[in-house]
Amino acid sequence: MVTVSQNPLVKNIQREIADQLGLPLKDESQSVRANKLVQRLKQEKRILVILDDLWERLDLEEVGIPYGDTHKGPYVIRMIHWCGVMHCDNYKNPYQHIEEMYGMVFLPLKLSFDHLESDETKLCFLFCCLFREDDDINVQLLTRYGMGEGLFSDADTLEEASDRMHILIDKLKSCCLLLQSDKEDV
């Protein structure tokens, strides 16, 4: 899965896909990197490429993802889009688009949230929602928010509260409601 985000950079998308495939990409031109990705993806029998959080159209050929009639292999490309820009122009009725987004995004998110095992875990998730999308969330800051709102009222020390916050964050990651950061203590 690759998070594209609001300001997509083809080079970053190529690098993330290549890293997940174990393909080293050097500082070659964008078209050379795209060609290497196409060749590497064609070696896979089955692969699912998930491009998460697209805000605008993305030229898959420019990135190096084979698709459509140009590629007959068993590849599935799924584009998850938050705001629906990818296919907005295909909808004559904007309400139909809102209903689809509700079914694709909000309903699964609500279901995941509702099935969290404790109110403590739910509150931790809601604290995470205070941060911008794709931000690395500092666990110590999150712990302070939790303490300020009485989440760890029975914790005797900041260390104990921090340990509990780490457990809650791990639960959210295991439910795929949070992603792992490459940075320490975030």
pLDDT at res. 58: 78
Instruction: Note whether 137 and 79 are same-domain residues.
Output: no
Which domain does 186 fall in, by range?
116-186
Report for 4-18, 35-49, 63-77, 167-181: range of highest mean pLDDT = 167-181
Separation CA 152–CA 38 (nearest Å): 50
Q: Confidence class of residue 91 from pLDDT cuts 50, 70 and 90?
A: very low
Q: Look at residues 23, 58, 83 and tell me which one is the last residue of a structural domain.
A: 83
Q: Is 68 exposed, middle or buried (0-12, 13-18, 19+ CB in 10 A)?
A: exposed
Between 2-11, 48-57, 169-178, the lowest mean confidence (pLDDT) is in: 48-57
| Mean residue pLDDT across the chain | 78
- Reported as a single tens digit per residue, the pLDDT across 116-133 is 989 999 999 999 888 887
> In angstroms, how far is CA 63 from the centroid of its own chain?
18
pLDDT of residue 94: 54
β 2-3/75-80 pair status = unpaired
Q: Are residues 122 and 180 in the same domain?
A: yes
Does residue 122 sit in the same domain as residue 77? Answer: no
Record the tokens describing residue 134, joined without a space. 């794709």
How confident is the model at residue 182, as a pLDDT?
A: 74
**Coil, strand or helix at 49:** strand
- Structure confidence at residue 31 (pLDDT): 92
Instruction: Yes or no: say if 161 and 147 are a contact pair by the CB < 8 Å rule.
Output: yes
Q: Which residue has the tokens 């907005």?
A: 88
Q: What is the mean pLDDT of residues 28-47?
A: 86
Q: Which two tokens stand for residue 32?
A: 């050379």
Report whether pLDDT(36) > 90. Answer: yes
Which among 66, 83, 100 is the end of a domain?
83
Domain count of the fold of the chain: 2
Q: Which of these three, 37, 65, 83, is where a domain ends?
A: 83
